[in-house]
Chains A and B, each alone.
Chain A
Amino acid sequence: MDLGCGNGDLLYLLAKEKGAKVQGIELNDSAIYECVKKGLSVFHGDIESGLAEYPDQSFDYVILNQSLQEVKKIDGLIHEGLRIGGKIIVGFPNFAYLWARWMLFFRGKAPITPSLPYRWYDTPNLRFLSVSDFKDFCREKNLKVKEAHYLGKKGRILYWANLFALNAIFVVTK
């Protein structure tokens, strides 16, 4: 289950390459058309109100790829995600990336980075979090981090992720 599946590129890959049985939820009109063109099954709607009907543990994985930072009630969504699915895969842009710090500290401007490409007035992001922030969140909410992967400009980041990662991907369970 991909929450905020966009054009469905990821779901399509998972269905085609991995033979996964996939489902998505997306709010954007034209993105929904793109998903249907790919043969995907998607619900047109808001990810925060669209999960209640699913029975417990309907999915093996729930994906929140680049959509967490746009969510209003993070807590509730993670909780719902872990009710309908066994594991949540969360991907988000790292606000503590070196260049973001640089922009804020030396230029005194809201950071614009490859993973946070928006200006302050047109960003859809409601939340600005770092790798460390998310780890703290998991600790606080008793979520188990099963895997953590960090992506920089040129691929995987193995050390100092909070400083060098553009994007982080966590796999969490209850």
Chain B
Amino acid sequence: MNKNGSVGVVKTKYFTFAEPSGPLVLESGRVLSPVTLAYETYGTLNRDKTNAILVAHALSGDAHAAGFHKGESGPGWWDVMIGPGKAFDTDRYFVICSNVIGGCKGSTGPSSINPLTGKPYGLDFPVITIADMVEAQRHLVDHLGIEKLLCVTGGSMGGMQALQWVASYGERVRSAIPIAAALKHSPQQIAFDEVVRQSIMADPAWRQGEYYEHGQPEKGLAVARMIGHITFMSDQSMEEKFSRKLKNGQYNFDFAADFEVEGYLRNRGDHFVRRFDANSYLYITKAMDYFDLSRGRLIPNGKVLSTRFLVISFKSDWLYPSYQSQEIARELKMKRADATYCELPSTYGHDAFLLEVEEQTTLIRHFLDKTLNGYHVAESNDI
């Protein structure tokens, strides 16, 4: 087993559907046409098309989950988990990842050209939901000729999409692995998102979303991202990473970044405005806030689903605390679904789903083995 296997150099592909004759009808009732999804695939789809895994990304992610783009040094956002011999083993499975609609990494979003005006949508872009993202992915999965997904997975908003897949197309999902996710956004999560949105919209450069000719509302978006990064870490991980360390070894007695943690946040913020569209941040956070599969909306009463679940949470995650994953687990118990719940003892906070490789790998590899092959593989790893 090659533990450090990489899928190598990969290229983003594009799939366009929902031409004007058959637009994508959104949860709000509004329509979107045409719709393009940027996506990448890793590994090989088997003949029966039974080994496909859909990976869904979080708030600021994209279709580039694994491997390298030509000329870039950094790998995809979940490269530690996707590749030969890794948790999502590309020697065995066919892994798909697409950028969500509303995003800004190749899929149709507020920065895309509105065919009616010839200009970027801006706020004319319809508000989308997690269910709309999943509906778009369903078109892609159909396009790839896959009837049933072996697994839908993702962390944070990716986990919400995994759950939404179960709610929308449960019979097409053999297993789901929602990680550090929730059945619904809590008031605290909505509150953080609202502060994030306000900081973008309060920047005069935002211009009611019509900033594309003038440049991003960089100040607002950077602050928004800084808030995000605070919520992604834990008190302990910040202590370990920064403590009270000073950038120059002494106080400056001004408002420059004295502490390393300040420098880090400013740096993350500045970095982010170069790679992410401010309006996409508004639309995607709104989609997360609307998300609510509680009160029987995950699996309707009386419906028996054969989907297997692996629900993972992290002890130090205070943005999507374990109790929210336990709520998912409780809902699954009530519906007599085949489910496993595990809380991993990480100190990384919400970011743990990107960083806690070893434990997640152990759990996911064996869970997928069992989903595909049943009990007989339990004693051996070689298939």
A44 touches B342 (CB 8 A): yes
For A39, give its contact among B331, B341, B375 (CB under 8 Å): B375
Name B342's contact: one of A15, A36, A38, A53 (CB within 8 Å): A36
Q: Does A172 contact B (CB under 8 A)?
A: no
Closest CB pairs A-B (n = 5): A39-B370, A53-B333, A53-B330, A39-B378, A44-B342
Name the one of B308, B329, B345, B366 contacting A43, with C-beta atoms under 8 angstroms. B329
A33 and B330 within 8 A (CB) = no
Other CB < 8 Å A-B pairs besides A37-B378, A41-B338, 19 of them? A15-B375, A33-B359, A36-B310, A36-B342, A36-B362, A36-B363, A38-B366, A38-B375, A38-B378, A39-B366, A39-B374, A41-B340, A42-B341, A42-B342, A43-B340, A44-B343, A53-B331, A55-B334, A55-B336
- When C-beta atoms are compared, the residue in chain A nearest to B343 turns out to be A44
- A132 interface residue (CB < 8 Å to B): no
Residues of A in contact, count (CB < 8 Å): 21
Contact of A53 with B334 at beta-carbon distance under 8 Å, contacts A29-B345, A39-B374 already known: yes
What distance in Å separates the Cβ of A62 from its nearest Cβ neighbour in chain B? Answer: 14
Shortest CB–CB separation between residue A25 and chain B, in angstroms?
9
Query: Which residues of A lie under 8 Å from residue B362 when comparing CB positions?
Result: 33, 36-37
Closest to A39 in B: B370
Counting CB contacts under 8 A, is A32 at the interface?
yes
- Name the distance in Å between A17's Cβ and chain B's nearest Cβ: 10
Give 14 pairs: A residue, B residue, CB < 8 Å, sorted on A: A16-B375, A29-B344, A29-B345, A36-B340, A36-B342, A37-B366, A37-B378, A39-B366, A39-B375, A41-B338, A42-B341, A44-B342, A45-B341, A53-B334
Return the CB mask of B59-101 against A: 1 if under 8 Å, else 0: 0000000000000000000000000000000000000000000
Does A12 sit within 8 A of B, measured CB to CB?
yes
Q: For residue A43, which residues in chain B have a CB less than 8 angstroms away from its CB?
A: 329, 333, 339-341
A66 to chain B, nearest CB (A): 22
CA distance A43 to B329 in the complex (A): 8
From 23 to 63 in chain A, residues with beta carbon under 8 angstroms from any chain B beta carbon are 29, 32-33, 35-45, 53-55, 58
Assembled-state Cα–Cα distance A53/B308 (Å): 18
Compute how far the CA of A44 lies from the CA of B315 in the bound complex, rounded to whole angstroms.
12
Q: Is B367 an interface residue (CB 8 A)?
A: yes
Q: Is B270 an interface residue (CB 8 A)?
A: no
B377 at the interface (CB under 8 A from A): yes
Q: Which residue of B lies closest to A43 (CB)?
A: B341
The one of B333, B336, B363, B374 that contacts A33, using a Cβ cutoff of 8 Å: B363
Chain B hits for A39, CB < 8 A: 366, 369-370, 374-375, 377-378
